[in-house]
Amino acid sequence: MTIEVLIVDDHAILRAGLRMLINTQSDMTVVGEAADGDEAVRMSGQVQPDVVLLDLSMAKMGGLQAIPLIREQSAQARVLVLSMHQEAACIRAAFDAGAAGYVLKKAADIELLTAIRAVANGKRHVCTLCQELLIETALDLSSMDQPPCSRNGISLLSKREREVLLMVAQGYTNRQVAEHLELSVKSVESYRSRLQGKLGLQSRVELHRYALTSGLLRPDGLTDPAPPAGM
């Protein structure tokens, strides 16, 4: 059986490299490419792939949001995340949203083909680097289940700060947030700095964890409640 793969990434050069790698395998073929989450959901319904190779950080719709929608469009599709994000919270969020595997981009040349075959055969796959990371954080799992600050901290945020928080927590870069909200990158950096100061948070993984544990972001990547309109 030939494994049919849909590649989803916003970098055309990376997609081309992945297509070349996958198409050299006798048991795999690339049936389509998408540059963002919206396109990935639509194409999943059209081509019905066996495996969707999915990036997390993309414009329009991030990977975490797209995973459950892809599975709705293509029941047999198995989602394999290929991401630069190696934070434990991102890995857990991807599996909570319905992913079947997680591979870091820097490990793709070693483990990607094995991972594609594994998820296509109904197994779960976590790359070796991610396994090591999860083991290292296993002793601190109890703290990850607790919000880093109280939900009351949300009331300290302006509407725009909350929008920035949600997008950063979903894996968008400052530049992608700026384009989506029609702001300058410098303005996004200022909003991010202020909201981190108000919440007492420092890193992207802490922001992601806070958004999840406070209820602003569901494990499937959707916002709950929806972020308010920009100021």
DSSP 31-75: EEEESSHHHHHHHHHHH--SEEEE-S--SSS-HHHHHHHHHHH-T
Q: Which domains does the chain have, with CATH numbers?
A: 3-139 (3.40.50.2300), 151-213 (1.10.10.10)
pTM of whole model > 0.75? no
Confidence of residue 213 (pLDDT cuts 50, 70, 90): low
For the segment 105-158, what is each residue's pLDDT rounded down to a tens digit? 988 888 999 999 999 999 999 988 888 777 766 544 444 444 433 344 566 678
> 23 and 32 in contact (C-beta within 8 Å)?
no
Task: Quote the pLDDT of residue 137.
Answer: 61
Q: Is the pLDDT of residue 230 over 80?
A: no
Range name among 13-17, 108-112, 219-223 with the lowest pLDDT average: 219-223
